[in-house]
Amino acid sequence: MRRCAVRRLSLGILGLASGVSLSTLACPDFLNTEMRKLASTEVINFCEAYGDKPLLIVNTASNCGYTHQLAGLEQVHQRYQSDGLVVLGFSSDDFSGRR
């Protein structure tokens, strides 16, 4: 089941990666923002950092029932990072107060 989910996710990523590069377009609204890195004072401008890369944006929590999915996300990252894919995780406390 887990392997099947990773395969489906991988196929979806391949579809995204084959699309038009964002660098040929104006910065889309969802990237037109800045955020501070977790446990850091460094601020990242998403258009500058990720505007020309395919993104997989994930809402994560490290202490919940979905933690097992992080291993699959790491596999996706390792497999496709050389193709430019960025797996971008956001910590969330929307999972019953867990981060």
State the Cα–Cα distance between residues 62 and 76, nearest whole angstrom: 18
Q: Considering the candidates 4, 27, 47, 64, report the single residue annotated as catalytic.
A: 64
Note if 47 is an active site residue: no
Dihedral sign from CA coordinates of 35, 38, 42, 46: negative
Known catalytic residues?
Answer: 64
